[in-house]
Structure 1
């Protein structure tokens, strides 16, 4: 049918000429036949053109229609309670498995360190602190306006650590010995209650104040008989040097201290509760996953902090130590992250903040835990 545009002009020429001279019978017949062909072709293409025209109009409508708005993910910054190591690895697994993205969040994670962590959350430069020991924020919670939105360890990792040949086999053996402690350190919060709970005469235990990074070398060099530290970090490093080393976990002797938390600003919980829920659920899911596959969490973390996780086996031991503290009777019923007013009341008394007018519920909330409890 592409020849049709050429046929019609010729017909028009012939028709114009016909006004000047009469047609022969044969010419008239040919003109009639040509006109019939043209008419038939035109009528034959009418339906397809209409259909094609409708399709073209629809396509135009679709191309000019306003696209559905795409919601941009909400940017969230998490800072670790300390330098990157095994116990923090699951948060990187959450990134790898898209748990935060599922909640519409674009999360970045940064390691903390001495004096760097919860303070940045308080002033709004970071949104969440991960595995923050209560000692690091509770005494200043009212002024900092911080809130625990998930309790990640039902039992505190604080402990007393000794070498295998120290002769210290039970807590009573600490009497007459020198213990390296850190004044105001997180692992020292439960030390005095531990001595009291085990019937050890605190006056008979000599202590020396050491910087946290100096305690492990002092123990290995024989400068002290024992040190305070964490099962999730210090103890694992000591075990690398002395496989016979052992420790006394405060929680095993009835010292009920809640462990590290996920902490954020109270204002964020009020202004963006869905963000808080998304972060909390992503973290809890990843920690639950890690119980079944700790190596996967370590591998994920190594993608972000390769130097910190170069010795994957040691870092996995740290994570496994933490996972052992994560569960308890409360998590069996309510899932990971749950805590009670009684737990926080006991902690307030231990930290000597129980005389204030601030209720325990000012420090924590279970409101942002998943509706369906995560029970590993």
Structure 2
């Protein structure tokens, strides 16, 4: 083939890649995808919909990423997988990362916050006399040791003038949380609003008998689920981390625009699940945890450092820090695109 013809073909190929907004390095990544394992901290439900949509709709693949998932037994285990390198990314409770960083020098950080507000809530029966948070005084409150909301409960009570010794706390297993409240063995439980409240309605508890007291509505500044990344991987593959974040932003927008499609994709990854239940769950997540006023102003994925500092102090009221981490220890904004590219569209 003549040299001039060869040069013309190469130039046309490079122009085609440029028209797609891709660099030569991205072209290489597309030919040789970067393999990524993302650890979930619990079995999949509609709360993980944006990640699932990113996989099933090819958004991660379009960024040159081959994403697989695994499931850990809680956020601490998922964080351990990332720090060991067995998973490059994980979706974890940011407050678990705060606790981890207070005890460890491993510089793992979050790079994208999916839940701008933590889903922690106290779910109570109105028929037991609980309508607002102060009604908990004199009542029996079931809380699981594994539930990270237990660490924020002291700060929440203090902020709202509730005496902890006036509330009877019953340590229970997370597995029996909803059944015990349904049976009237406790007056209220701590859990996630989109899990416990929706599960209780599914168990036959009338919606008008449930009081869902969200921590965020009573002064809790905590962020919720966030993507963390192995620091060595981030140093070696910064473009892959940026691509992952871009794909997740696109997937979150798609999830918001078409909840039904998102739930259909989630159901393909669940062992059990009903469309109506997961659709209700996803709608609650988007309304209460993702599309907040802060996100509408500042875009998806970011944090307000001042708010994050306050939330760290609130975690510290219920959990003894080895060394208090700073907001900079918890969140790294280098991989986020500009605000204009993160606004919900």
Q: What corresponds to 2:68 in structure 1?
A: 108
Question: In the alignment, which of 270, 273, 277 is matched to residue 314 of structure 1?
Answer: 277
Compared CA separation, residues 189 and 281, structure 1 to 2 (3 A): farther
**Which string of whole-angstrom CA distances, capped at 9 and with x for unpartnered residues, describes residues 80-99 of structure 1?**
12111110122111112211
Number of aligned residue pairs: give it: 314
> Is 1:274 equivalent to 2:234 in the alignment?
no
Cα-Cα RMSD: 2.6
**Which string of whole-angstrom CA distances, capped at 9 and with x for unpartnered residues, describes residues 188-230 of structure 1?**
2332222223322222111011122221111112111110000
> Is 1:375 equivalent to 2:339 in the alignment?
no
2:83, 2:230 within 8 Å by CA — same for their partners in 1?
yes
> Is 1:99 equivalent to 2:59 in the alignment?
yes
**Which string of whole-angstrom CA distances, capped at 9 and with x for unpartnered residues, describes residues 24-83 of structure 1?**
xxxxxxxxxxxxxxxxxxxxxxxxxxxxxxxxx77xx98xx99x9873111111111211
Question: In the alignment, which of 126, 129, 132 is matched to residue 90 of structure 2?
Answer: 129
Compared CA separation, residues 311 and 357, structure 1 to 2 (3 A): closer
Aligned to 2:190, the other structure's residue is in SS state strand
Distance 1:358 1:133 in 2: 16
Question: In the alignment, which of 269, 274, 290 is matched to residue 304 of structure 1?
Answer: 269
- Range moving further from structure 2, 81-90 or 132-141: 132-141
2:33, 2:64 within 8 Å by CA — same for their partners in 1?
yes
Residue 163 of structure 1: CA displacement? 2.2
1:335, 1:375 within 8 Å by CA — same for their partners in 2?
yes
Rg larger in structure: 1
> Is 1:85 equivalent to 2:45 in the alignment?
yes
1:157, 1:249 within 8 Å by CA — same for their partners in 2?
yes
Question: In the alignment, which of 294, 307, 332 is matched to residue 259 of structure 2?
Answer: 294
> Is 1:182 equivalent to 2:144 in the alignment?
yes
**Which string of whole-angstrom CA distances, capped at 9 and with x for unpartnered residues, describes residues 319-373 of structure 1?**
2221121133432232100102212211221222778374320210121112343
> Is 1:139 equivalent to 2:139 in the alignment?
no
Q: Greater relative contact order: 1 or 2 (C-alpha under 8 angstroms, separation 6 or more)?
A: 2
Q: What corresponds to 2:306 in structure 1?
A: 342
Aligned to 1:129, the other structure's residue is in SS state strand
Q: Which runs of 5+ in 2 are unaligned?
A: 11-26
- Range moving further from structure 2, 143-152 or 105-114: 105-114
1:178, 1:224 within 8 Å by CA — same for their partners in 2?
yes
State the TM-score, normalized to the length of structure 2: 0.83
Compared CA separation, residues 317 and 139, structure 1 to 2 (3 A): same
